[in-house]
Amino acid sequence: MSATLTAAAPTANNLGNALEIRGLVKEYAAGKPVLKGIDLSVAAEGITAIIGPSGTGKSTLLRCINRLVEPTRGEIRLRGTELTGLRGKELRLARRRIGMVFQEYNLVERLTVMENVLSGRLGYVPLWRAWLRKYPEADIQRAFMLLDAVGLPEHATRRADALSGGQRQRVGIARALMQRPEILLADEPTSSLDPRTAVEVLELLARLTAAENVPVIINIHNVELAKRYARRIVGMSGGSVIFDGPPEDLRTHHLQAIYGGEDWL
């Protein structure tokens, strides 16, 4: 089966911004905001990399977008849909439009690779179908196509706990794309990988999301990889955005402001 994913034709939904964030605040304790009024617009294509020191709110920002964390106040709009006020069924329907790739893979270890990939369709199929593993034929064919695209067609029937870290992250990418998401969030997807595997995973993520016209927001510690793969970099420090621009505009003084100090550069 071919590993080639063809790009979707441009539509009205591909134009402009995929995500609009305005005045986003998150407080885990009253009066101590982790996010301090974030304003951010994310284009409907390409990779936006968020860099910054640990504890500055990068992961909280992503988790507010998909409502794994409840924002304290502010607005988050996904292609015009305001997410922060959604509850129940409306929230479940919105979440299936948002793919997520996790730092620690978040796979079901006892299930096969194929079953993990197909779980990306759980928001779309009746519960009885998922329980009996009776997914529609179109979903099964797409899962095989994605496994081929991430280089794991021969591992479809292996348990997830038999895979290496890099292979697990490839499964995580395939599972996220099974949702046919309108945006994909990646939370430190390479931090548990060796340098070579990290590059391979980012290459794969960039290629497949470009082929399917899916914009990506990625939290990443490696500044050089961020500059290499992102068309835009957002630098955060202390819960605020202090740099927002193309990689070529990121200078030493910006990095010093983001990470603090000089002796580490």
Q: Which of 6-15, 28-37, 92-101, 156-165 has the lowest mean pLDDT?
A: 6-15
pLDDT at 23 over 70: yes
Residue 257 lies in a domain: yes
Residue 71 lies in a domain: yes
Q: Which domain holds residue 24?
A: 17-97+182-189+215-265
CB 13 within 8 A of CB 44: yes
Residue 65 lies in a domain: yes
Distance CA 95, CA 90 (A): 9
Residue 76 lies in a domain: yes
Q: Report pLDDT digits (tens) over 116-133.
A: 999 999 888 777 777 777
State what percent of residues in the chain have pLDDT above 70.
92
Beta strands in the chain (DSSP E): 17-29, 32-43, 47-51, 73-78, 81-82, 98-101, 183-187, 216-219, 232-237, 240-245
Supply the pLDDT for residue 176. Answer: 97
Q: Which of 12-21, 60-69, 105-114 has the lowest mean pLDDT?
A: 12-21
Residue with token string 């470009």? 210
Residue 238 lies in a domain: yes
Supply the pLDDT for residue 168. Answer: 96
Number of domains in the chain: 1
Residue type, 257: A
* Helical residues (DSSP H) of 109-240, grouped into ranges: 113-118, 127-131, 137-149, 165-178, 195-211, 223-229
Q: 39 phi and psi, to 5 degrees?
A: -115, 125
Tell me which of 262 and 222 has the higher pLDDT. Answer: 222
Residue 63 lies in a domain: yes
Here the CATH number for the domain that contains residue 88 is 3.40.50.300
Q: Report pLDDT digits (tens) over 122-176.
A: 888 777 777 777 889 999 999 999 999 999 999 999 999 999 999 999 999 999 9
Supply the pLDDT for residue 264. Answer: 54
Give the DSSP H/E element, type plus range, for residue 163: none
Q: Report pLDDT digits (tens) over 36-85.
A: 999 999 999 999 999 999 999 999 999 999 999 999 999 999 999 999 98
What's the first-to-final CA gap in the chain, in angstroms?
Answer: 46
CB 61 within 8 A of CB 35: yes
Q: Which residues of 230-264 are buried (b: 16+ CB within 10 A; e: fewer)?
A: bebbbbbbebbbebbeebeebeeebbeebbeeeee
Give 262's pLDDT tier (boundaries 50, 70, 90).
low
Residue 37 lies in a domain: yes
Average predicted confidence (pLDDT) for the chain: 91
Residue 170 lies in a domain: no
When pLDDT is averaged across residues 236-263 and rounded to a whole number, the result is: 92
Give 17's pLDDT tier (boundaries 50, 70, 90).
very high
